[in-house]
Amino acid sequence: MVGGIELVVIRHLPTIGNGKRQYIGWTDEPIVPTVLEPYDTKCTEVYGSDLLRTRQTAALLFPNATYQSDPRFRECNFGEFEGKTYAQLERYPHYRSWVEDPTTIAPSGGESLRQVEARVVEAFQQLPPGARLVTHGGPIRLLLERFAPERREFWSWEVPHGVVYRFHWETERQWKEGERCTSLSVERLTENGNSSGK
């Protein structure tokens, strides 16, 4: 990067619940055992949520870094939907209402996307320039919806496990004032630890 501000945001590696397509928000599941080469051995500090799956992903990708956890980077709290699948929930009216408007409707005992966005964006704008962040699919979609150069809806962003987004702003002021980034690049981690542009 020449000049400007760059933040690197990575989605954690998958868990068993992710593989079953369950809503895994604040459930503290480990990642599925995997062999992955480090992404950056020179990085000395990495940020992420306080949940185990982000900690474990960060330890694999940034083995020499100190992990700075922040619960504001957690996935959405799915409340009563936690650990369940669409097939288990689709017949319930409150679930259908939430699916139609997750921005303002929260599951019982959980959060709306508006609530998640408020805490995630606040934490994101407090990161130091150049930070590496390991977080979850929901927070990453919210960051993309808010900061990507191209305006797109929350669900239109595909955010697979192990994806790496590089947000770049020309100035720190643009980032701190919540402006859209000037460029965004995407990489996908491969099993041998290399990244492939996508």
Mind giving me the DSSP string for 74-93?
Answer: PPP--GGGTT--HHHHTT-H
pTM over 0.95: no
pLDDT of residue 166: 97
Amino acid making up residue 16: I
Phi, psi of 24 (to 5 degrees): -115, 95
Residue 161 has pLDDT above 50, yes or no: yes
Of 3 and 83, the structure prediction assigns the larger pLDDT to: 83
Residue 191 has pLDDT above 70, yes or no: no
pLDDT of residue 67: 98
Instruction: Output the average pLDDT for the chain.
Output: 92
Sheet holding 5-11, edge to edge: 66-69, 45-48, 132-135, 5-11, 163-169, 183-189, 195-197
Residue environment code for 51-83, b if the CB has 16+ CB neighbours within 10 A, otherwise e: bebbbbbbebbbeebeeebbebbbbbbbbbbbe
Q: Sign of dihedral through CA atoms 87, 81, 59, 10?
A: positive
Cβ burial of 152 (10 Å; 0-12, 13-18, 19+) is exposed
Q: What is the tens place of the pLDDT at every residue in 15-51?
A: 999 999 999 999 999 999 988 899 999 999 999 999 9
Q: What is the tens place of the pLDDT at every residue in 84-127?
A: 999 999 999 999 999 999 999 999 999 999 999 999 999 999 99
pLDDT band per the 50, 70, 90 thresholds, residue 190 = low
